[in-house]
Each structure stands twice: as structure tokens, then as C-alpha cells.
A and B are shown apart, each in its own frame.
Chain A
Amino acid sequence: MSAILEKPGFNPDRKYKIIGTSPVKHDGFDKVTGRAKFAADFFLPGMLIGKFLRSPHPHAFVRKIDVSRAEKLAGVKAVVTRDDFPELKPGTGGGDMSRIAMAREKVYWEGHPVAAVAAVSETIARKALKLIKVDYEVLPHVIDPVAAMAPNAPILHDYLRTKGVKGPDAEKKTNVVERLELSVGDAEEGFKEADVVVEHTYDTKPMHQGYIEPQSSVANVSEDGQVELWCCTQAPWVYRDRLTEILKLDSAKIRIQQSELGGGFGGKTTFYTEPVAILLSKKAKAPVKMTLTRVEVMKATGPVSGTQTRTKMGCKKDGTIVAADSELIFQTGPYTGSAFTNAPQAMFTRYELKNVKTVSYEVVSNRPKVSSFRAPCVPQAVFGVEDVVSELAKKIGMDPIDFRLKNAIKEGHKTIYGETFTKIGFIETLEAAKACDHYKSPVPKGQGRGVACGFWFNRGGETTGTVNLAPDGTVNIILGTADVAGSRMSMSMMAAEEFGIPVDRVRSILADTHSLGYNRVTAGSRTTFSSGMIVVDATRKIIAELTRRAAKIWGVPEDGVIFEDGHCRPASSNVGNFEPLSMKDIASKTTYTMGAISGHSEMNVTGAGPGFGLHIVDVKVDRETGLTQIMRYTVVEDAGKAISPMQVEGQYQGGAVQGIGWALNEEYIYGADGKLQNAGFLDYRMPVASDVPMIDTVIVEVPNPKHPFGLRGVGEVPVTPTMAAVGNAIGECIGIRPRSLPMTPPKVLKLIEEAEAKGLLPKH
């Protein structure tokens, strides 16, 4: 175990010079001038354009693919189909990945790739696609996960058997990938102690990550099989290792350079164009660029799991929650991999609960394979939990935040998944929420206020990085994690703080996969934490070397030298009377004689501090149209320590507005034919500037003692409670809480009518 993991050197009294300020991001300049190179901005001489042919059917056997006419079209340089992919066993990780990239036996969703063409122009590539003949045997399809669980549902995979099921059902053909039970105590017994029990069912719809930059990659394969790949990705090393697996390549022969990333939110943790671009380039013997259109992005990448859930909780009159019980169904698209197990682990992890039962199912159906999104699979479950919690509070006449405080977990809590928490900031977050101006101010007339809480584990994991000190005393940092919103700057700030030099003397870059060892995906709010740990560790190694060299220059023992504020100084006057040596003094004096001064670090970073947040939202609902307007929104969240507060605020605000979209508008709409009907930004409506107000933020700082600066990840938590908070606010406003996403005007209008009929509609 690396020393820094045991002794991070966190000091609560440390006075920071750079941490906690918000300097301009170094990578920002190129982004405001249009110079930044995103994936589609990359060009190579002689580059061809690659295009996909996609299935028009949601479910069909692919009998035959005839590409002969396409291949003969002038300007076409390569055509790729399933025959060009190594055959991997279906139902294995590699087998599934390969089949998502290019259909093999069957197509499983409308938009599933069946062939691809590389040509000298896009026009010719498109013409060639029209010349490919695919012979399909169309099969019955199933879109809805509950329908997919029914006994007579069309079966997607003959080989599939439900994991976690015993008895005769264990051998049945099914669309249910897994049944997972995660429980503690005895829920049934627990409910016996309850004075009040609340139970409801919920459904949430798949939403798309909605990054504005469509996936794009350029592959260049040389005659001897060396692959160069430029693409937008949150996971260059994961791409490398999976590409080597499904294309049977040597890792040493594939080098991936990540571009600037035009948004990912989890959706760029898995590849689409890359394996196909590589195969096309190999065949064509020229670089090939493949860029998805927005329609392709909507139909064939992402989205997020939709869910059907049932949640029941009970409490005593004094507000103590005694038991919880939940059943959750997650759709995953045609293949497993929804990360649904996060949900039962996280959904109640905020509250001190002795008796919990959860049963979760992951179900395949004829939709695009889901991909990660901020706190994968957790917001969907929280949408129900935080409704039930608020209703319990209301039923016993308690303030919703006080009710949550009464049941809040603290340091020492043992979670349902076995982790025991060290210092966490949930209580502090709730208290900060109670004290904030928004919560203290009365609910404006005619509006409704909702609150909801969220939790995310925050992650660490395998990370590497290098810090180099140049002879002129400036520093460059080579990072393996992707930068989704400004993490390069946070790394530069952490190194500058540790060295005690201005941050403008430091620059961070994103490495290609040949320049560093394996780095886990940038996801799960792990990057600033994990790469930060690596950078501080590497920085400390450089400081140790500077100290050694200063000792040598002065001819004193090493312990006679201390390092502070970017300088080596004699530890005391006993050591001698030496002028302090700056980093530049030492580096310029010794680099050309003793070698470069660098620090490198690699480790499986542990000690990520869990994150908690509470959202407060005021809404106004138009009773004639059912339209919900967000009037005021506040995000309160524990950041541990905000390295760059403006970037942290940006994460809170961005996450909340994505959640608002998911709450009010965003969904995948399918026709009876199994085809997606809203594959574009016009009909799949994400929030625009005029849909939302300013998003206020309160950064709570309860340091994570396992990190040198106390930080916690902040990116996932902000989306976890949003839909619940908005739902609760609408419920307050109209008297019935919506339990089906998105909470569109027609649905809300129906509830208003129902509330009116039942006499529940508040008067104002």
C-alpha cells in the first residue's frame, strides 16, 4: 500500500494559498477562442470518412449481408461487417461488446450497426450504404422491461438464465439477467414497530446523457498493424484493453490519444465508432474518421436505465424510521451492464435503518444498450425513496429536514453493502440546508417547495501519473484520467499548493495510453480525488529529491534541509548559513549533471469520502396547462474541501439542471413498431437557458481525512435527489405527488384534476 494512502497528511489547520481559489482554467483559453481540439476537429492527410449502416428493425435475425455492390462503387475503400470481427462467445463481456459494436447473429435494437463503409467522401460513403443488401428475418420485439419479464415475451438471448434464481425457474429461458436481493435485519419484523407506513410505485424513463459533442474518432492503422486512435473518451485505457480483447490486438500496438471531451457524463465510458474505424482503416490502409450524427447518438449510444420501482417505508410517531422494503426493475437494453447493483446499495444510504429488504432485477429488451450516467442507477431509486420519506415526515407532522436529521447516518455507520463510514458530512449538509436563506424564507404564494437528499459512494481506483520539474523551475503534470470539466486545473492547483509556487508555473496534460500505465475510467466522481492523490504523491517525491540535492549542494546531511514555499532552506541555524534554494536554483544546477527531477506515482487509490447533498426547490404549476416552472433552486452538498469552488458550483448546477430535464421533459418515446420516435434535440427536449432560474449553491466542507486536502468527489451527488425534489415540490403545489417521470404537463394536468376531485388541491 502506498504510504500516502495511510498517511495522507491531512491537516485541518493548514492555511491554503491556492486551494479554495478559482483561478482561470489553463485549458479554458483555447475553448473560448475555438482552438481547442475536440474529437471531430482532428484531421489527417488522406483521411477517409466512415459511415454506419444500421438496422431498421428492433429485433431480427441477420441472414445475409451482401456488400459486393458497395465495394465496387468508385471511391469506396473498405466495407466492414460482422465477418471482419473475431468471433467471441455470446454472453461473455467481450462477446457482448463485439456484438454491440457490430451485429452478428441478430440485430437487437433499431439502430444496431450491421455494416460500415469508408470512402473518400461522406457523399460516396452514404451512397455506398444504400448499395448494401441485408436480408433480415424480423422477430417480435419487446421494449418495456415489465413486458419483457412476462412469461410469453419474445426472448432476446436463448442462452440467458437468470442469475440469483434457484429452483425450476433457474433453467428457464428469460430476459431477466439477474435477481439480486440485498437486505439487512428483518424488514417484515421492522414494519410491525411502525406507526405509519407509506408505500408507492414509481416509474422513471430512460434519458440520454445528452453531451453536445457526438462521438467521433480517427483511426490510423499502419501496414504492420500499429493502431493510432484519436477519440473523445472518459476511459482511454479501458478502451485500449477492450479493443485489444474484441479485435485481438496487442496492447503495445494500440495507442489512444484522448481529445478534448465535449461532455460525457458517463456516456463516453464505452466505445461505438472506435472498433469499426480501426477495422475500416486496416482494410483501407488509410486513416478513417467516423463521427456520429445526433440521430445516431440518440438511437445507438447511451441512454440511462428506465425503471419500475416500489418502495415502502415505516416510521414511529417520534420520527424513527423502522423498516424499508423495495423492489426495483432496471432495463439495460439488449445486454447486461446497467450497474443496477448501485441502486440497492445507495438508495437508503443516508438513513439509520436496521431492517431493509431490497430485490432488484436487470432486464434485457430491444433498446440500445444503456450506458453510465452520473451516479448510475441511483437517481431512479431515490425518486421514490425521497417521496416516501417526505410523506412520512408530513404524516407525523415533522419538518422534512428535521425528519431526515432524526434518521441521519454519521461516522461509524455500517452500510448495507458492508462499508463502515469514517467522517461523513450528511448531518452538516442537512444543517446547512436548514440554515440557508432559501429554506428559511417562506414558500411564495401559489408555489410548492420540495426537498430531497442524495448520496453517492464516490470512487477511487487504479490511477497513474507523472510530475516533471523542468530546469527553469516550472512543472508539468501528465495525467491518465480524462478531464470532463476542469480537472487538469485542479491537479495543477494541488501541485502548486504542495510546492508552494504560483499555479501559472504548472501545466497539466492528458496522456496517451503509451505514456502511462493503466488508468481506470473517469467516472464515479473519482478523478479529482484519485488523480489528486497521485499528483500529491508524485509532488512529494520531487520535494524529497529536491531536499537531497540541496543537501548535496550545501554538503550537509539530508535532515538538515527543509522544503517550504518552493524553497529548500536549512532546517536551523545550526545547519549553516545558506541562502534558500528555489526549485529553479536546484533544477537548473543539477538537471544536466544528476538527471531530471520527476515524480511518478501509481496506485489503487482508496479512501474516497462518500458524498451527500440536499436539494431545495420551489415550483409553480400552471393549473390550466399542467406546466411546471422551476422558480428557485438550491443545491447544498458536502465537497469535503472545494479545490476550486467555482468548478464545484458548476458541478452542482449542471447536475441539478440535468436532473430537472429528467424530471420534467426527457424520455425515450417508442412506437408500437419498436422504433424511437424522438431521436433529436427538437423532440428530445433538454433544458434550455429559459427553462431554469439561477441555481444557488451551498458548499459544505466536512473534510475527508483520507485525502491530503480533505476533498470528496462532487460530480454524481447533484443529480441523485433532483427528480425527487422536483416531484415533492409539485406534490406540495397540486396536492398529489407525481410518481411517473417525466412529469410532463399532460400527466400533471391529470393529477390536478384528480386532486380537485378528491379535494386535495391546495387553494391559492
Chain B
Amino acid sequence: MSKKHHLAMNVNGDDYEFLCETHQSLLDVLRDELMLTGTKEGCATGDCGACSVTLDGRLACSCLVLAVECEGAKIGTIEGMARGDVLHPLQRNFLELNGLQCGICTPGILIAARSLLERNPDPSETEIRYWLAGNLCRCTGYDKIIRSVQAAAKEMRGA
């Protein structure tokens, strides 16, 4: 039996060490080894965005990243989005504007939307729709997701 790899990475500001098999994805490790189950698996092939995280500041599908590539990486997941009791404006607007129904797509969409607003604080509706085109939602028809992102963006701009 081949031995596991011993790695270290930082998730949401906390240092973690873990063992993983060569074929395990970052998503597998987050969920099954670190028990950070807020990041979801919808397809494991990069087609649904439920597994979205940030990897050294860039948006990534964690199902497409091998865990062994993450030595020393800085990962951002949904668990690190709120600051203590204070929800991120995106989180709060999704709640207030019903940007979620079942909620399985929500962590991935929130992480992706945060990445968008970091790059573009004032995106148009079309820009939001194209940025989130990698995140499937089967419940909402996207309308209230887009509105939630627009409202959060406005709030964060202080407009």
C-alpha cells in the first residue's frame, strides 16, 4: 500500500496539517479530512461550482485541485466568510432577499460572488451573471441570487 502524503496548508487563517492520498482533491481533504463540510460536492468535475474556494486569493473549483498541490497554500472557504457573529454583506443580503432555497449551492455562490466584488465592486447584471455562470443553482432561477449580489455590492460600495 502506498503511503499517504503529509502536507500543511492554511484554511481561513488557521494552520492545518493533514495526510492525503495522491488522487485526493482539495475538496476531498477539506470535507473528509479536515471536516470542513461547508464546501459542497455537486459533480467533482468542475461543472457546478458548489465546491468553490479561494486558493491563494484566486477563485477555484476545489474538486479540480489535487490536495498534494496545496502545500503551503492559503485556502478560503465559506466557514471563514463571516467575522464572528457579523455576517459578510453577501451572506446577509442572500438571507434578506431570499437568494437561497435549498442552500446547497449557496456556499459556492457566496465564495464566487465575494471574488467578483473584490475585483469589480460595481458589476453590471451581465457581469454578475457571467461571473457566476460556473455556479449551478437548480432552485432559484438565479433572479434572487443576482439581486442579492447587486444589493451586497451596493452596500459594500457605501452607495
Contact = CB atoms under 8 A, between A and B. Distances in A.
Given A35-B38, A212-B48, A689-B133, A262 B43 contact: no
A9 B110 CA distance: 43
Contact of A31 (B37, B47, B50, B106): B106
B146 A690 contact: no
A253 interface: no
Interface string A173-188: 0000000000000000
Given A33-B82, A689-B129, A653 B136 contact: no
A283 B97 CA distance: 48
Interface residues of B, number: 60
Nearest to B145: A689
B43 A680 contact: yes
A210 B138 contact: yes
A680 B47 contact: yes
Interface in B1-54: 21, 23, 31, 35-45, 47-48, 50
A41 B95 contact: no
Nearest to B48: A681
Interface string A528-569: 000000000000000000000000000000000000000000
B62 interface: no
B50 A212 contact: yes
Contacts of B137: 212, 689
A34 B142 contact: no
B123 interface: no
B104 A654 contact: no
A202 to B, nearest CB: 25
Nearest to A264: B102
A40 interface: yes
A25 interface: yes
B104 A38 contact: yes
A262 B87 contact: no
B136 A650 contact: no
Please classify the interface of chain B as helix (H, G, I), strand (E, B), loop, or mixed, using the class held by over half of its residues: loop
A262 B128 contact: no
A34 B144 contact: no
B78 interface: yes
A659 B102 CA distance: 18
B118 interface: no
A658 interface: yes
B144 A262 contact: no
Give the bracket for the number of chain A residues in contact with chain B: 35 or more
Contact of B101 (A37, A484, A692): A484
B45 A690 contact: no
A516 B146 CA distance: 39
Interface in A649-693: 649-650, 653-658, 680-682, 686-692
B102 A484 contact: yes
B38 A212 contact: no
A28 B82 CA distance: 14
B41 A33 contact: no
A2 B21 CA distance: 59
A214 B41 contact: yes
Given A34-B79, A657-B142, A28 B100 contact: yes
A209 B139 CA distance: 10
Interface of A: 22, 24-25, 27-29, 31-38, 40-41, 43, 123, 209-214, 260-265, 293-294, 484-486, 646-647, 649-650, 653-658, 680-682, 686-692, 694-695
19 contacts: A32-B78, A32-B94, A32-B95, A34-B38, A209-B138, A212-B102, A212-B104, A293-B44, A294-B42, A294-B45, A647-B98, A650-B101, A650-B141, A650-B144, A653-B141, A688-B132, A689-B130, A689-B132, A691-B133
Interface of B: 21, 23, 31, 35-45, 47-48, 50, 77-79, 81-82, 87, 91-92, 94-98, 100-107, 110, 125-126, 128-130, 132-147
Given A32-B95, A647-B98, 16 more contacts: A24-B96, A32-B100, A34-B39, A40-B37, A212-B42, A265-B138, A294-B44, A485-B139, A650-B140, A650-B141, A653-B140, A657-B140, A689-B135, A689-B146, A694-B125, A694-B147
